Chains A and B, each alone.
Chain A
């Protein structure tokens, strides 16, 4: 029971959050062909916008999340228009460096606007878990996080599989040149990609904030596990990113379970190292990932 309560369930929660972030990383990589190091900052911005809306309206963070997703999407579109669009035909490395710069600027902007203190959505209340079957402890916030994540992933699946713009996104991910030669408006596809990526990032940021708290480095700390998840699933493959996120989240939490003897297998401080190790192993063993993504 302790295993489920303190390792498995938190792993699933963390995995869902990583998965949402990793889908965005994977979509941007597939369509815009660059690793967006500023993706964590979209999570940060989404989480802080939600905090302000929550403070202002007094509604539950999940109730104001849709509005925050819209606002974060606008910010992502603005960033794309100002910083990435001029580099559309440049070498990938240039765009990656640009994204690194944007990450620094965005984080600093958040620190200037909201400060560097830690915030919480719960305003001091401590939520008590619901106890089921004489020992299974379930937090309502975890139920919300996992069910909202599943809902969002189903939305993404529906968009990618059944809508015209979603199919065009997959087409452009296959071959941008052929997409242009087919008459697909590639800039419209790029905008759709940012909207989906930023919306999911905002949701992931809020879920992470609900699970623990908000601080200005949260986006940066998410970067490594999100990339590990995206690479694990096969970069450019949104479905792979979903699986990859879950695997990385579970691996991080389960790595500190006392599998052998009484002490944790790995001290919890090494959690981030687990994501990194998974990423390196995957790149060595199968660079295209579980779902056969791109290899460069």
Chain B
């Protein structure tokens, strides 16, 4: 059974629809990447999961349960964690406080989990008392991912985690994505860096104009000549 399924989703923010019947499924333990040109509705599809969108059609199910249009706070409690592309850390809170907020919905002792996150992202351990807004872009991304992982989610959604990062950090983030996935957490990721992201992904979807264009195994999509021409720079 799929962990998360978006079926035939249509909708947008204002009057006009941005998505016209998008379907995405993420199975147990998978890394799924969504690529496509600007304005294809990649990030919008992700926001639909969190009820941040006016939906005009389609259903969203989490492990078989219908969560269509559910309030974001409840979706988080169901075990879906989302890292937005920008504005994804509390900038005036310290690194440690950001992680504590990530665990806001946990009633148990989450201190050991904070230690695990620091082991996963060693640079954060040194900066635990520093405000998240003062960190570099790459480290902020680590805080955002660490914060989302505090609840040991059923699925992690990442919106362009490498946007605006230098190639070194980009590689580090993709390594981290694989590392998180290795602990059994399925990941749905929207990406601009098609080549690198397809290389870490099990499967990929290509969206164009708010519709599914192609889908397939990451390695197959990488070798598809048409896709290569469209997104991978020839």
Q: Which residues of A contact B (CB under 8 A)?
A: 164, 167-168, 170-171, 173-175, 177-186
From residue 74 to 131 of chain B, which have CB atoms closer than 8 A to chain A?
76-77, 82, 84, 87-93, 97, 100-102, 104-105
Q: Are A182 and B102 in contact (CB under 8 A)?
A: yes
Within the assembled complex, what's the spacing in Å between the Cα atoms of A227 and B9? Answer: 47
User: What is the CB-to-nearest-CB distance from A131 to chain B, in angstroms, rounded to a whole number?
Assistant: 46
User: What is the CB-to-nearest-CB distance from B125 to chain A, in angstroms, rounded to a whole number?
Assistant: 20
What are the nearest 8 A-B pairs in CB distance? A183-B76, A183-B105, A174-B90, A171-B90, A180-B72, A171-B101, A184-B104, A183-B73
Q: Are B50 and A181 in contact (CB under 8 A)?
A: yes
Q: Are B93 and A174 in contact (CB under 8 A)?
A: yes
CB < 8 Å neighbour of A170 from B50, B77, B92: B92
Query: At the interface, yes or no: B154 with Cβ under 8 Å from chain A?
Result: no
Q: What are 27 A-B contacts with C-beta separation under 8 Å?
A: A164-B100, A167-B93, A167-B97, A170-B90, A171-B90, A171-B93, A171-B97, A173-B92, A174-B91, A174-B92, A174-B93, A178-B84, A178-B87, A178-B89, A178-B90, A179-B101, A182-B76, A182-B101, A182-B102, A182-B104, A183-B73, A183-B77, A183-B104, A183-B151, A184-B73, A184-B104, A185-B73
Q: Are A167 and B100 in contact (CB under 8 A)?
A: yes
Query: At the interface, yes or no: B211 with Cβ under 8 Å from chain A?
Result: no
Q: Are B101 and A168 in contact (CB under 8 A)?
A: yes
Query: At the interface, yes or no: B203 with Cβ under 8 Å from chain A?
Result: no
Given pairs A175-B87, A186-B73, 14 additional interface contacts (CB within 8 A): A168-B101, A170-B92, A170-B93, A173-B92, A174-B90, A174-B92, A175-B90, A178-B84, A181-B50, A181-B84, A182-B101, A182-B102, A183-B105, A184-B73
Q: Are A181 and B101 in contact (CB under 8 A)?
A: no
Residues on A with C-beta less than 8 A from B73 are 180, 183-186
Residues on A with C-beta less than 8 A from B101 are 167-168, 171, 179, 182, 184
User: What is the CB-to-nearest-CB distance from B188 to chain A, in angstroms, rounded to a whole number?
Assistant: 15
Within the assembled complex, what's the spacing in Å between the Cα atoms of A183 and B74? Answer: 7
Within the assembled complex, what's the spacing in Å between the Cα atoms of A175 and B90? Answer: 7
Within the assembled complex, what's the spacing in Å between the Cα atoms of A167 and B147? Answer: 14
Residues on B with C-beta less than 8 A from A171 are 90, 93, 97, 101
Residues on B with C-beta less than 8 A from A182 are 76, 101-102, 104, 147
Q: Are B76 and A181 in contact (CB under 8 A)?
A: yes
User: What is the CB-to-nearest-CB distance from A59 to chain B, in angstroms, rounded to a whole number?
Assistant: 40
Within the assembled complex, what's the spacing in Å between the Cα atoms of A186 and B77? Answer: 14
Residues on A with C-beta less than 8 A from B84 are 178, 181
Within the assembled complex, what's the spacing in Å between the Cα atoms of A178 and B82? Answer: 10
Within the assembled complex, what's the spacing in Å between the Cα atoms of A178 and B133? Answer: 14
Residues on A with C-beta less than 8 A from B97 are 167, 170-171
Within the assembled complex, what's the spacing in Å between the Cα atoms of A173 and B97? Answer: 14
Within the assembled complex, what's the spacing in Å between the Cα atoms of A7 and B77? Answer: 56
Residues on A with C-beta less than 8 A from B91 are 174-175
Residues on A with C-beta less than 8 A from B105 are 183
Of listed A168, A171, A179, A184, residue having the most chain B CB within 10 A: A171
Within the assembled complex, what's the spacing in Å between the Cα atoms of A164 and B93? Answer: 13
Residues on B with C-beta less than 8 A from A168 are 101, 104
Residues on B with C-beta less than 8 A from A180 are 72-73
Within the assembled complex, what's the spacing in Å between the Cα atoms of A179 and B93? Answer: 12
Within the assembled complex, what's the spacing in Å between the Cα atoms of A180 and B97? Answer: 16
User: What is the CB-to-nearest-CB distance from A217 to chain B, in angstroms, rounded to a whole number?
Assistant: 36
Within the assembled complex, what's the spacing in Å between the Cα atoms of A180 and B105? Answer: 11
Within the assembled complex, what's the spacing in Å between the Cα atoms of A183 and B77? Answer: 7
Within the assembled complex, what's the spacing in Å between the Cα atoms of A168 and B103? Answer: 11
For A172, give the chain B residue with the smallest CB separation.
B90
Known A167-B97, A167-B101, A168-B101: A181·B82 in contact at CB below 8 Å: yes
Of listed B50, B72, B101, residue having the most chain A CB within 10 A: B101
Within the assembled complex, what's the spacing in Å between the Cα atoms of A184 and B151? Answer: 13
Within the assembled complex, what's the spacing in Å between the Cα atoms of A190 and B87? Answer: 21
User: What is the CB-to-nearest-CB distance from A136 to chain B, in angstroms, rounded to a whole number?
Assistant: 41
For B74, give the chain A residue with the smallest CB separation.
A183
User: What is the CB-to-nearest-CB distance from A225 to chain B, in angstroms, rounded to a whole number?
Assistant: 26
User: What is the CB-to-nearest-CB distance from B145 to chain A, in angstroms, rounded to a whole number?
Assistant: 13
Residues on A with C-beta less than 8 A from B93 are 167, 170-171, 174
For A173, give the chain B residue with the smallest CB separation.
B92
